[in-house]
Structure 1
């Protein structure tokens, strides 16, 4: 039985593409994808039929892939990053459900842009985080701003996809304005363009200054949470280990138990744990340039 594979290519370099993804692409009859993404896998292509299309033609790609499978061909519909993250998988499943189409589908996961970009700047997504696309081509801007507000209030580290384009210049400024209501101006920010591709560029800045940098649709913007700090050329968002353990020797802090819920000291009760945590926090406070000194 013919099968449709929704293949995540990861950030673009073959060495960061899964073995499964490469095996599938080499084995199928047809490869469908956005032109620049198909170009990324040129070395994997041999006898496969290629179906390429341009920007904003996602419906056509999804429909073409489905039709090829219904004709008895194995098809790989390729996407950058992961097929289920701002890519083609949701549309394919929507079409299949809406038209009650019976075909075999397998999703082959890929490294997302958020993961790829974060890996280049340390551990900015070390704790709870979310992704928000600033493109309003398919989502009303009012919905997007509501999500930014909620993420800012909840103190998520945030990865912004589609942060800026030639036609969309104000959305990232509005996102910055919302975040500034809840986070210090010195909050570390990473702007990563074309991660793991030839044109890769990584720049570190602050919440107050990052919009002065040049970046567009190929970039992702990672904004730290209130605990994030800059260490040399890295951004670190602590997981919270210092709340339960001493980072000096790994000893469990007074009142805490490994594997159990974190115990918070009562208000006004200054414990060794609270003092140690406070001292650690002070030692991690960014200098005026946002870097640990």
Structure 2
């Protein structure tokens, strides 16, 4: 049996009870070393298999092989395993197996939801999530998604906004969105959401500070109705008040 476990943003209080129970019931814990380190207190008596970024396929194949041997395996993802996590990859690999393994996805709190709670109510209306990582998605496809989502006036949640190898991607994304997003559109920036070193900032679109952002940052850009009230962002849903 393979449990695809989303551990949420990091702190224990943001994990679901189902995620904690699944981890407790598993023999082996498999995951990226950073995520494993966030739950060390829960897995002291478990067999642990951890590796680096870009070794996702190996990680998931190991989980399938262990499950074939009768082990209960938890594959750990940060946030939710079905949102930029490992759930899809395990399912894909499992379709190629003659002896298919039973898989259960355990839901977790994804970064956009965690960050939104910090910022107030920025995603009360239609929203989308776009990753700026072009490791597996061509940049021209990401550009098209940014343009069309902005034109449609979605609230946009940006994952993986900026890294050392992609230092200009976020600036380019804002240049694309600027055609449709007003200068005063609220932008929420949350670094390390739900973790000990959390930081949050609220700025207007025209005053965006790209240097604040890294791969652990979630950015939420409002729609035409979104506004800043004190230190919170509010996106009306349309109630008559």
TM-score normalised by the chain length of structure 1? 0.81
Distance in 2 of aligned mates of 1:86 and 1:190: 21
Q: Give the drift of 1:212.
A: 4.0
Q: Secondary structure at the match of 1:167?
A: helix
Deviations 1:171-212 (A, max 9, x none): 111110111101211100011000111111101111112134
Q: How does 1:93-132 map to 2 (within 5 A)?
A: 93-132=91-130
1:36 Cα deviation after fit = 1.1
Q: Does 1:63 align with 2:61?
A: yes
Question: Aligned partners of 2:20, 2:67: CA distance in 1, in Å?
Answer: 19
The answer to whether the 8 A contact 2:8-2:15 is kept is yes
2:174 maps to 176
Instruction: For 2:3 and 2:204, locate their aligned partners in 1 and report how far apart those are by CA, in whole Å.
Output: 40
Deviation per CA, 1:39-95, whole angstroms, max 9, x where unpaired?
111111132100000111111111111111011100000100000000101111111
Is 1:22 the counterpart of 2:20? The answer is yes
**What is the Cα-based RMSD across aligned positions, in Å?**
1.0
In 2: Cα distance, 1:101 partner to 1:176 partner: 47
- Answering whether residue 136 of structure 2 is matched by residue 138 of structure 1, we say yes
> How many residues are treated as equivalent by the alignment?
241
Counterpart for residue 74 of structure 1: 72
Structure 2 gaps of 5+ residues are none
Query: Could you tell me whether the CA contact under 8 Å between 2:2 and 2:102 is conserved in 1?
Result: yes
- SS at 1:222 equivalent: strand
Which protein is bigger by CA-based radius of gyration?
A: 1
Alignment TM-score, normalising by the size of structure 2: 0.98
Alignment of 1:189-200 (within 5 A): 189-200=187-198
Cα deviations by residue, 1:122-171 (Å, 9 ceiling, x for unpaired) = 00001000000000000000110111111001100000000000110111
Q: Decide whether the 8 Å contact of 2:170 with 2:210 is kept in 1.
A: no
Aligned 1:37-48 pairs, distance under 5 A: 37-48=35-46
- Please give the per-residue CA displacement for 1:3-56, whole angstroms capped at 9, x wherever unaligned: 100000001110110111101111110000111111111111132100000111
Q: Which residue of 2 aligns with 1:270?
A: none
Distance 1:134 1:212, change over 3 A: closer
SS in 2 for 1:205: strand
